[in-house]
Chain A
Amino acid sequence: MTELKACDSCALNNTAQLQKLGINVDNTDFVVALAGNPNTGKSTVFNALTGLKQHTGNWPGKTVTRAEGGYSYENKKIKLIDLPGTYSLLSTSQDEEIARNFILFGKPDVTIIVVDAARIERNLNLVLQILEITDRAVLCLNLMDESKRHGIDIDDRTLSKELGIPVVKCSAIKKEGIPELLKTIHQVATREIICQPHRISGLSTSAQKMVEELEARVKQHYPALPNSRWIAMRLLDGDQHIIDALKNGEFETAISL
């Protein structure tokens, strides 16, 4: 069992998964995913980080496929994947599935979650769902300039404490906060910062109990899986995609059993 665990953290294993998802990871040290609601300036952050000029449109659904780019930071080569903007990871539309499968099976080293600072409450719904799947994330509080214009500021320290992940204030259009973002991504990727992500707590006691019971069983079967609680919740919800993924062994390849 210990051997298997070692394999999970080995770079080669993840590489195989990423290649299966169609990503070339030659000469790449870290894979970073970019997630977030539509219209939060995700593509602008992508462009600011990579120096590419992917077109950014102001309407939901601009990026329905994945865009890829790369940059290097402190001698590390980083591959950046821009995921489709989604409001949740719980429905079955194809864009949400692309985003979800990537975070779940692609296991990026870091997931940057871009949120619109002026619409923090609505955006947090997705943030909380992503934090159930991955424990290595950075919150990018984008559109700070616009938000301040509307008289809204965000207490980033408290937010960071509540979510258990680093929070960086940005205004990607003006390239503000990008150096800090680059540094934080690096720190999470190299495990200099260890995240302790928030877990959804608003469930009723009885539901909470069942989630725990099922989670224990998932953990027992797949000890290397970092998101057993989320799998348990999806199973309780009767998510056919997760059931199928379990049946045809996608999780096993994902954790290399």
Chain B
Amino acid sequence: MKIDKTQELLNLASELRWQVGEGFHDTLIEGIYADAADIAQKVEIKQGSVPKFSFERQLDQILTSKRFGFPIMILVLSIILWLTIQGANYPSGLLSTLFLEIIYPFLKSLSSQVGLPWWMDGFLLDGVYLALGWVISVMLPPMAIFFPLFTLLEDFGYLPRVAFNLDSAFKRSGAHGKQALTMSMGWGCNAAGVIATRIIDSPRERLIAIITNNFSLCNGRWPTQILIATIFIGALVPDHFSTLLSTLAVILVALLGVGFTFLSSWMLSRTVLKGEVSTFALELPPYRPPRIWSTLYTSLIDRTLIVLWRAMVFAAPAGAVIWLISNIPIGDQSMANQTIDWMDGFGLFFGLNGVILLAYMVAIPANEIVIPTILMLTVAHLDLLGVGVGDGVMFELDSAAQTGEILRAGGWTLLTGINLMLFSLLHNPCSTTIFTIYQETKSWKWTTIASVMPIVFGFIVTFIVAQLWGLFA
């Protein structure tokens, strides 16, 4: 009986809808607007002749102008990265001294006093503890500088202007203009960027935004980019130019990511995700002076600590796995060494190596631990005595220069550095992001495409670079 009543109601509705015609939606909207205008006119009291938002208009004209919009964007990003690279060095050294030169030997001596068996000592201290110490000393300083700066920019109201500048480019590649916002969100965290795509109403454009979000360098990858750029690219020029050159290199990679976002959006919208581009109104919110202290507080609590916690949660078991695969032998070699040797030829083909490929497999849970894993595997593989502590031990090196020495001893060249930066940009999303993509799309097909497409790009690009390098160098 209930069903009948509902059906009857719906029948009446569709009958009336027939009479009222297509225009009802517009009538309704117009009605709402008319009422709103009427009320607003009654209640708004304008005082004096204060020029309304004139300063903001002028600022918007500059920040979103055709000529200056893009250069300003790149300049702002450069300043933030430069401050991060420059500022992170010192606290990083301090933290590593604390965790690895003071606490680590203390724990080691404690464990020998208690008489822990060698495997437990190795597993816990050389695996889990060192992985954690590494992640904290490498991740915390750049994050504690990068996030608050980025958040200040967000609070000021700059991001919607970025979206405005990028809007036409997104439209031309067949995607939604709001994707500029989700892309910027991805610069913090891809999983967050994927969730943020909920602001896009068309399912087609939302899928494009989800699939391409991985091309935004996330906070797990910024430190990798910064470190490798400092070691291999900054070292090409005299000291006082090296920060500048490393910054430029990182920006280039980030912009390449933006380029790939456009390219893949364009490819998707021309093939599997064809359709009309929808229009939307983007409000440029008023500029607001950011409240420095509360921003520092919230970005520290909300972002830095949460991201750090996530990195630690993943680093601990990864450290254990690394220790295990470096210490469990197959035949006359450890599992890690076997795999590295086996993949080395394949890796070199792409200007990478077996260590990097294995590190990316171990580090699927979190991009943050790629560099520690690479270093540890390199040392274990080379049996570099005197550096590091032993098989499967993640260790800390005081400066980028020393890290560079290890990597060079492992056969790394400028090409390996460049291709690692490229591969770090173009590879599968971390497992959290993959899971989030599935959650948002509820489709294995799109999750697979989103995971596999970047890595295909990665192999193509590194291959081309390696081959060109071979031709010219």
Contacts and interface: CB of A to CB of B under 8 A. Distances in A.
Interface of A: 38-39, 53-61, 64-65, 84, 87, 90-96, 118, 120-122, 124-125, 127-129, 146, 150-156, 158-159, 162-163, 173, 198, 200-204, 206-207, 210, 213-214, 217-218, 221, 232-233, 235-238, 243, 246-247, 249, 252, 257
B9 A210 contact: no
B89 to A, nearest CB: 27
B275 interface: no
A175 B299 CA distance: 21
Contact of B10 (A64, A118, A243): A243
Nearest to B282: A60
In the A-B complex, list the 7 residue pairs whose CB atoms are closest, starting with the nearest: A151-B50, A93-B201, A202-B31, A202-B34, A121-B40, A124-B36, A61-B199
Given A57-B155, A173-B291, A93 B199 contact: yes
B75 to A, nearest CB: 20
B209 to A, nearest CB: 12
B157 A150 contact: no
B47 A152 contact: yes
Nearest to B302: A55
Interface of B: 2, 5-6, 9-10, 12-13, 16-17, 19-20, 24-25, 27-50, 52-53, 151, 154-157, 159-160, 163, 178, 181, 195-196, 198-201, 281-283, 285-286, 288, 290-291, 294, 297-299, 301-303
Given A124-B40, A213-B16, A236-B20, A202 B35 contact: yes
Contacts of B159: 57-59
Given A200-B35, A214-B16, A257-B2, 8 more contacts: A55-B151, A60-B285, A120-B40, A127-B36, A129-B32, A150-B53, A153-B46, A217-B9
A120 B44 contact: yes
Nearest to A65: B195
B223 to A, nearest CB: 22
Contacts of A154: 43-45
Nearest to A208: B31
B25 A237 contact: yes
Contact of B283 (A60, A127, A203): A60
Contacts of B9: 217-218, 221, 235, 246
B35 A198 contact: yes
A202 B38 CA distance: 10
A245 B125 CA distance: 57
A64 B13 contact: no
Contact of A207 (B24, B38, B286, B288): B24
Nearest to B202: A93
A212 B9 CA distance: 13
Contact of A58 (B39, B48, B288): B288
A57 B154 contact: yes
A121 B43 CA distance: 10
Main SS of the interface on chain B? helix
A121 B6 CA distance: 37
Nearest to B53: A150
A236 B10 CA distance: 10
Contacts of B49: 151
Contacts of A249: 2, 6
B185 to A, nearest CB: 8
Counting chain A CB atoms within 10 Å of each CB, the highest count among B38, B40, B290, B299 belongs to B40
B298 A53 contact: yes
A189 B198 CA distance: 31
A121 B16 contact: no
B105 to A, nearest CB: 38
5 contacts: A55-B298, A94-B201, A129-B32, A162-B43, A203-B27
Contacts of B39: 124, 159, 162-163, 198
B42 A158 contact: yes
A214 B28 CA distance: 15
A60 B19 contact: no
B156 A128 contact: no
B43 A203 contact: no
Given A91-B201, A202-B35, A39 B28 contact: no
B181 A214 contact: no
A162 B53 CA distance: 28
A60 B162 CA distance: 13
Contact of B198 (A95, A163, A204, A257): A95
A59 B19 CA distance: 41
Contacts of A201: 31, 35
A55 B299 contact: yes
A93 B281 CA distance: 14
Contacts of B13: 214, 232, 235-236, 243
A200 to B, nearest CB: 5
Nearest to A146: B286
B17 A236 contact: yes
A214 B12 contact: yes
A151 B288 contact: no
A208 to B, nearest CB: 9
Nearest to B163: A59
A56 B40 contact: no
Contacts of A125: 32-33, 36
B46 A151 contact: yes
A178 B303 CA distance: 27
A210 B303 CA distance: 52
Most buried by B among A206, A233, A238: A238
A235 B199 contact: no
Nearest to B283: A60
A17 to B, nearest CB: 18
A233 B288 contact: no
A238 B17 CA distance: 7
